[in-house]
Structure 1
Amino acid sequence: MFHLIVRARKDAKALQYINERNYGGFLKVSSLGGGRTLEEVEGPLRELLDEPYVPILLLGDAEEELMEEVLPVLEESGKPFYARLLRTKRVRNMRVDELHSNIEEIKARFRLGIEWKDAYALNPENPLGIEIHPDYDIYLAMGEGFRRAMRSILGVEIGENSLVLRKLMNLEVYYSGPHRVAEVSKRLGSPVEVLWRIPSAEAVPLERLIELNRGYIEAFAEASRAFLRRFEGHDIVVPWSGGKDSTAALLLASEVFDDVTAVYVRMEYEMPGTDEYVEEIARRLGVDVIRIDVPMPLDRYGVPTHSNRWCTRLKVEALYRAASEFEKPLLLVGDRDGESARRRLKPPVLERRNDVLGRFLEVMPVKFWSGLMVQLFLLMRGIELHPLYYEGFYRLGCTVCPSLSDWEVRLLRKREKEGS
């Protein structure tokens, strides 16, 4: 979670309105007490920087001199931060929607911004110049299987641990080292298409990636753990698909709570390898898993479509039935901003109501993380990703999911042909 810091209490009041309206009040908002000089604000600022949430400092353009004085204090903290001078005299002078847009863009910078230091280093200042957009995501194209699929299916050569910028409409830009080498359209309902390519492939060592980003990832992990501690006293239930995001949510939960239950709703047409992955990681983490097998009667309902996703209803009902067996259930889910605008616009805590099964709270501890951050977090903890990620998948679902792109269908066919 993020900590929004401003100079004056009236500025904090303006931000708190946005916090309540858009984030359910679950960000933290603080002022520096109204001081105008470094001497007046340094003490309060250092106290705020000791707190676990990731700091964002917002000042108006009338406070430019103060910004220059406090930047060294932020840098000394050693934690990720971002500071911005707004175009208005004071923070509270900016229109509410424009101020909210600034916050959304800054949040995106934390997950998308990259610096090249012989590997990719997360940096919200974004020296590499990655295109920043609130609905974009980045992840690593990891594994020889991923590289082989890109080569054999698309004729694109990428280096080991290439960076992928995932834009709207499943448009992906591939980097090898610091250079853009390809742009690929994986738009749903259309054939996968290479828009352009450059013959260049540079390997990026995984060990160096982890080394460069360890402090950054740990800072976000601690912020997420601090957020989760607000919900002590609940029965912690993690809907677990075996995908990287729900696995990261499960891992964070296990680092905070003594008693965590994972619910694996296994759909009939589950992706290959998921049963084995769930069993192995559950054993490694020592968490209890409730497995619920859900049949998918295609002969009765037909293959799921975007306008008739009856399978989602079955999956959610099975999850809620399992959660309703707990006295005070808290659903800890792996939704992230970078997956879609719909997920980004949800607050980090939601209340779900079911007429039959009751009321459920959903909490999203990795909401502000990128796919890259999730991947590195798991690997830093010694947890390998689901095998399909190493073959070219960005997300996991069912093999009959209407959200499968042509690229993913080709990957599945390629896997069947090779007898994997």
Structure 2
Amino acid sequence: MTSLQVALDLMQLSRTVPIAHEAVDGGADWIEAGTPLIKSEGAEAVRVLRKEFPGRMIIADTKTMDTGSFEVEIMAKAGANIVTVLGLADDATIEEAVMAGRKYGAEIMVDMINVPDKVARSKRVEELGVAYICLHMGIDSQMRGEEPPIDILRRIVSEVSIPVAVAGGITAENAGEYVEAGASDVIVGGAILKTENIAEAARNIKKAMSGAKVDTDLAKKYGEEDLFEAFNRVSTCNISDAFHKQGVMFGILPQSLAHRQKMVGRALTVQTTNGDWAKPVEAVDRAKEGDVIVVDVGGAPVAVWGELASHSAMVMGVKGIVIDGAVRDIDDIRDLGFPAFSRTVAPCAGEPKGYGGIGIEITVGGQRVRTGDWIVGDENGIVVIPKESAVEVANRALDVHERENRTREEIERGSTLSKVNELAKWEPVQ
């Protein structure tokens, strides 16, 4: 029987305990004190989980890289049944961890994250006496849209005789594939922790592990071909948080959006001068369906865009207009339902002189924009995401969005934002 291990990758022990109970109620078999939790709360996290779940397997995900014996001793004495050591660690570290585990009553699981030859290393650590191997695709790799390592899992299972666990990006949609490929322990973090109903999420994964088909978008990772859908699921606030506040256009405001209307598309860049609307309008003829026209006018006050340009852009499938300058006919543009963002609004337009260019690198709202970069706009403002980073930023923004949903659930149960995040505890020591 394949076990479901819930990875409690949280910062606050006070949040962890009730979440762990709900996960067990939903069918989680093993309980992991995740690496962030151990770094935040220390061995006390393992002690508390042992007291709360006396009959359960407790895993201390220390990801030990050195001093294998000492770290295993600490976690075993705190109540861990299994302690993790990195496959990248020296053989001597793994051997010391195994010996300490035998002395203090804990087994060793070797985590293969970032190991180049996972199959060969799995065979070697089995020789060193470890009890489990964990094929782990790290969060940062998941965010970049890398494919799940199903084929590598099958190869490892065929080459070793000890149980093989799998972790990283596992959801109710794909958990069954890992079981079918031979995983003896399915480790799930975000697809359980980021939900309003922890028990239901755990039940759904157990169903999937038994072969049932479960449809869910939770913790789904998106690739290049799915970015339009991914960015439509998140807000510019989510993107800003995920992108470390990069990409935000300052001073560019939504002028025509309906409530909760969103603009998502690839940039087609335009540069022009004060009041010269020739290049912005000509860009409509060069735009592809799904593009957002982004215009650099240097913040000049005379409008270079209006209702007729918006109408023609909509006919061509353009998703919106962003102008570091002025737009006019806002009432008519709003009636059209066409997203328009600009620095200012003015009734006066200039003449079509044709200065500037289309498709060149520009600066809008303080941000560099190139044709092909992703533009996301909503009632909060505009964010530009470089095309090279778009997959990772989209997945990280979705992670932010889903974690906020969990926080909202805890607030609705009677907590507050400061209590959920234990703000006072983490303030600098005076």
| TM-score of Structure 1 vs Structure 2, range by shorter chain | under 0.3
Q: TM-score, normalised by structure 1?
A: 0.23
The answer to which structure, 1 or 2, has the higher relative contact order (CA under 8 A, 6+ apart) is: 1
Q: TM-score, normalised by structure 2?
A: 0.22
